Amino acid sequence: MAGFKDDIDEMDEELDLDGDEGGDDFSFDDDEEGGGKSKKGKSEGGGFNRESYYVYKDKLVQLSGTIRPKERSKEGKVMTLDFKTDEKIYSVVMDDMGKKLTTSCFQELLVTGLVSKVSEKEYTISIKTYI
């Protein structure tokens, strides 16, 4: 077993010698060396920003709220709908499901749909299912 300890000591000495050469610098900051371009970190705006990415993309969500008419024709027929939750009001996309929901005005529903951001305060929802 004494020979085993000597092998470990020799290996430690070799590792120390390799580390003293200075060739292996694992620094990721280019500014310390004085040359090259500086890289922006995620906190500086160069990385992926989850909040801004998902705000502008369509999201499949489940919401609870009330369906209500937004616009009516001269005859009183519902033309467009809003879906009002506790937090926001969404304009309902008038596809087949939107047209089907025109008969369900002022009912509380649990809906699943794709939400899109139109502007800072305007959102649309394309309803896929409802209960």
What share of the chain has pLDDT > 70, as a percent?
Answer: 56
Domains, the chain: 58-130 (2.40.50.140)
Q: How confident is the model at residue 4 (pLDDT cuts 50, 70, 90)?
A: low
C-alpha 124: how far from chain center = 18
pTM: 0.56
Q: Are strands 89-92 and 123-130 parallel, antiparallel or unpaired?
A: parallel
Q: Output the six-digit token pair for 50.
A: 């989850």
C-alpha 73: how far from chain center = 38
Interval 111-131: pLDDT, tens: 999 999 888 889 999 999 999
